[in-house]
Amino acid sequence: MECIRKRPTRTKSEELIYQAQSKNAATVNGKLIGMEGDEDLSFLLMGGELLKVRSNSWKKSRFFKLQEDCKTVWHESHKSRRTDQTFSIDDIAEVRPGRRTEELQKYTEELAEDRCFSIIFKGRRKNLDLVAGTEEEATKWVNSLEKVINNVRNLNSQQQTEHWIFNCMRKADQNSDNKMSLKELKRFLLEINIEVDDAYAEMLFEKCDKSKSGYLEGSEIEDFYKLLTSREEIDVIYGKYAQTGGQMSARDLLHFLLQEQRESVSLEDAQKLIEKYEVDDIAKEKQHMTKDGFLMYLNQPEGMILNPAHKDVYQDMTRPLSHYFISSSHNTYLMEDQLKGPSSTEAYIRALTKSCRCLELDCWDGSEGEPVIYHGYTLTSKILFKDVIKAIKEYAFKTSEYPVILSLENHCSMEQQKIMAEHLTSILGDALLTKPLGDQVPTTFPALEELKGRFLIKGKKLNSLEDAFAGNAAGEETVSEDDEAADILTDEEKKEKESKLKLAKELSDLVIYCKSVHFHGFDHTRDNQAFYEMCSFKESKAEKLAVDSANEFIHHNVNKLSRVYPAGSRTDSSNYNPVPLWTAGCQIVALNFQTPSAEMDLNQGLFLPNGKTGYILKPAFLQDEATEFDPITLTRGPWLQHKTLHVMIISAQQLPKLSKKESSIVDPLVKVEIYGVQQDLASKQTHHIDNNGFSPMWNENFQFEICVPELALVRFVVEDYDAVTQNDLIGQYTVPFSSLQNGYRHVPLLNNCGDFIPSARLFVHIMAVDGD
């Protein structure tokens, strides 16, 4: 959330006053973000000229500076009616030094390498490619921006709220006199997403206007802030357990942790929490926790809904590759739709930074002897295969150190296939797996841990792995082409196109554990298919198998990999529901990462724990070759662990406005959705709250019966109620049932692109107990 002021025309004296006030505001904000007196912050506040690059012919000098809120960057624009001259630090995904975007590589000289940098935004906003006057200046911009970004991201919830409210108050203070009139107070409430009637606004104002001056200033504004940010629900909880002179002793806190949070902790653990989060030094000395310290704890990882023990790698990573769900992308090269959207190396970088571990590369002959990647038979733009491999090499293991599978859809001639093989081996080097691990012919997949830092190629192979291991050369052959791109063609066009693809030995030899084969039924695969031979299924085929032959599909997926991909008819790059495929044991359930959707929320939720490695260990009953588990027709077995989930939706804090209009206030409601086996599917919702996105309170209880908790996902959705049209998404958060924490918990909220919304939270009470 950001609150910024427009730049009105001012007289000289007004400008001097404004500059003094801005300097004072920048000092306060610098302190609020923990950078008081910092020279890097001062550099950004002063600003400077940078060359903005869009094409060979569009390179223009523009002035950039950080505004006094220390969170919003303003940049000069010569466009008339320009409204988006600012962007928030919160919107930046990365500050990338050097010529490391497609545009800078195309439109600048190599000599400018050390003067270039790019601001990469979250979501679909285009990169900002910039060139500084000197290498030193570029380094200063990059380092200073990174420092501010890190400081803002590391603010705790209370610090974020203080910073945001201070700047909203400044915006509401229209005449910049550091006082707040009743009119300005009403405007401020609209800024922070609350609409109240005049009587309530007057009551708040009169309560704080102790001097009866008709304005709030100084300590009166502080009193108003405290009144505004007080949490009645926290007061009630704290009051119940603060039994030692009005404060929580370590024993009181322990009682709360055992009774409400259902944690297996000791007095020493309670003492450590006080030491870590108590803000009052005197209380800390007594080993007491004040209400402020208690709220601080509830807003830290220990007080969040996701079990902190599950944030890092906590699962067994020594199981065979086929025993894991693998975060997987479809048409990874696309930034938008699959008919005419742009292809970009940036799409691969974004997928990798979101822990994707299986990337798709649709490879076609390029016009200048270099293979290209794009969506065949469409108007999507083309990118060089070698540029994609370079980008993958650089970003593959920054988020996760576990293996990356490159799924090749090969449409290239023999000559360009050999070039592909050369690029793969020369760019990826020793990280590319070119032979089986170990000194014996493999009979099963290696352990996931053994594949850390390695690239695996999925594609067609001329001979068997056994032959390759024995050194038996494969002859030149033709193979049937896996052509997902042709899904968009008519049946007549497909018949005209049907052909056999000649496969280059050089490319074939790079396929080790992921050889693509056609599916001919489970009887055939059981008797004829080697463990390293994997089938790809269109979503409709996979969904049918997951219903009609679920147990057979599960058996197949115990020691073989299955990949599922969206139908070609999804020209808008929409997604299908991945959950039924996961419950059938499919590992590589490929989704369009470029398309924000509920399905992508579920994918992000499944792969949220375990260190965001992109790998989640399947439940034991999906690893067992003799399993009788069937997600459609549940029978008794180790998978049946009936749980009753009690969820109380208590309140929310600082929900974002969905419209830039000052008068537009959200009317929030909350949905709780359960995904998993068919019997566990459920959804319940609260009533909506009129005109309050700052501190809505529901206090509504829901109960869910869950039969197979190891496959269940819980999704919290906050929507803006609309009586006429479809509700708009405000934020959501999805978490595996097995990673939930019991008790009073805050739920962070993500936007439709899967990025955190600063300060926005739900406050809930969770209790999962054994069912009948």
The catalytic residue positions are 330, 375
| 141 in a labelled binding site | no
| 331 in a labelled binding site | yes
| 667 in a labelled binding site | yes
Q: Give the C-alpha separation, 176 to 186, whole Å.
A: 16
| 362 in a labelled binding site | yes
Residue 328, classed as helix, strand or coil, is strand
| 62 in a labelled binding site | yes
| 454 in a labelled binding site | no
| 694 in a labelled binding site | no
| 72 in a labelled binding site | yes
| 316 in a labelled binding site | no
Burial class (CB in 10 A: 0-12, 13-18, 19+), 506: middle
Residue 159, classed as helix, strand or coil, is helix
| 75 in a labelled binding site | yes
In terms of Cα–Cα distance, which of 245, 253, 251, 252 is closest to 282? 245
| 56 in a labelled binding site | yes
| 458 in a labelled binding site | yes
What angle in degrees, to the nearest 10, is found between the helix axes of 157-172 and 291-298?
A: 100
Whose tokens are 């405007």? That residue is 187
* Distances 154 to 175, 539, 736 between C-alpha atoms, Å: 33, 41, 25
| 81 in a labelled binding site | no
In terms of Cα–Cα distance, which of 615, 541, 619, 608 is closest to 581? 541
Question: Which phi and psi angles does 92 have, rounded to 5°?
Answer: -85, 125
In terms of Cα–Cα distance, which of 696, 678, 679, 680 is closest to 688? 696
In terms of Cα–Cα distance, which of 185, 178, 187, 213 is closest to 17? 178
| 198 in a labelled binding site | no
Burial class (CB in 10 A: 0-12, 13-18, 19+), 216: buried
Q: Give the C-alpha separation, 680 to 705, whole Å.
A: 7
| 430 in a labelled binding site | no
In terms of Cα–Cα distance, which of 555, 553, 549, 576 is closest to 565? 576
| 168 in a labelled binding site | no
Q: Give the C-alpha separation, 395 to 351, whole Å.
A: 10
| 691 in a labelled binding site | yes
| 10 in a labelled binding site | no
| 543 in a labelled binding site | no
Strand partners, 324: 617
DSSP E strands, 136-201: none
Whose tokens are 């699959």? That residue is 338
- Which of the 8 DSSP states describes residue 446? P
Question: Which phi and psi angles does 184 have, rounded to 5°?
Answer: -70, -35
| 129 in a labelled binding site | no
| 722 in a labelled binding site | yes
| 563 in a labelled binding site | yes
* Distances 658 to 72, 171, 451, 575 between C-alpha atoms, Å: 19, 19, 44, 24
- Three-state SS letters, 380-413: CCCEEHHHHHHHHHHHCCCCCCCCEEEEEEECCC
Q: Give the C-alpha separation, 62 to 715, whole Å.
A: 44
Alpha carbon 654 to chain centroid distance?
A: 20
| 751 in a labelled binding site | no
| 54 in a labelled binding site | yes
Q: Give the C-alpha separation, 377 to 86, whole Å.
A: 39
Q: Could you tell me if 543 and 581 are in contact, meaning their C-beta atoms sit under 8 angstroms apart?
A: yes
| 721 in a labelled binding site | yes
Q: Give the C-alpha separation, 319 to 236, whole Å.
A: 47
| 772 in a labelled binding site | no
| 76 in a labelled binding site | yes
| 377 in a labelled binding site | no
| 765 in a labelled binding site | no
Question: Which phi and psi angles does 338 have, rounded to 5°?
Answer: -100, 20
Count of Cβ atoms closer than 10 Å to residue 31 Cβ: 13
| 58 in a labelled binding site | yes
| 344 in a labelled binding site | no
| 518 in a labelled binding site | no
Helices (H), ranges, 218-302: 219-229, 232-241, 250-259, 267-277, 281-285, 291-298
The sign of the torsion formed by the CA atoms of 226, 232, 234, 237 equals positive
Enumerate the known binding-site residues for Ca(2+).
331, 360, 362, 409, 665, 667, 691, 720-722
Enumerate the known binding-site residues for substrate.
52-79, 458, 460, 536, 563
Enumerate the known binding-site residues.
52-79, 331, 360, 362, 409, 458, 460, 536, 563, 665, 667, 691, 720-722
